[in-house]
Amino acid sequence: MRTERDGRRTVELWDVQTATERAKVHIDEAAHRAERLLSDPDTKARREAVECRWCFYGRNGMSGQAFTEWTCGACGEKASHPNTRVPRLCAACAKELHLCRQCCADVELRRRRTL
């Protein structure tokens, strides 16, 4: 780490190089994700999971590892979930209502007039 006259420099060439590479990786990942969001390549798996495109392809898998209690927003059944990304609906209700388990959007993102 080099020191300058008016204080310590915190950005070095190494930081710039690392950040540059990291930004490129993030762009590739985002582009790949966007591609999947739009083309819905795993329709079957997504429908089996009962999730909308955004929840299935769009979200990062960021969730805490802790069993979390949650209640289905339709039938009121209580359940526990292995991480903190708790669903809004149980699988049965999501299937029956054609809603995303995670966020309760229409599973094909159609505009709904009824539940």
Q: Does 93 bind Zn ion (CB under 5 A)?
A: yes
Tokens 């609906």, residue located: 89
Interacting span for Zn ion (CB under 5 A) from 20-28, 32-40, 45-53, 59-67: 45-53
Distance CA 8, CA 114 (A): 62
The residue within the footprint of Zn ion, chosen from 46, 50, 52, 57 (CB under 5 A), is: 52
Q: Does 74 bind Zn ion (CB under 5 A)?
A: yes
DSSP state of 20: H
DSSP state of 99: B
Q: Does 107 bind Zn ion (CB under 5 A)?
A: no
DSSP state of 112: P
Interacting span for Zn ion (CB under 5 A) from 7-15, 16-24, 29-37, 87-95: 87-95
Q: Does 94 bind Zn ion (CB under 5 A)?
A: no
Distance CA 84, CA 29 (A): 24
- SS3 state at 82: coil
Residue type, 92: A
Smallest separation (angstroms) from Zn ion to the CB of 76:
7
**Binding site residues, Zn ion, CB under 5 A:** 52, 55, 72, 74-75, 77, 90, 93, 100, 102-103, 105
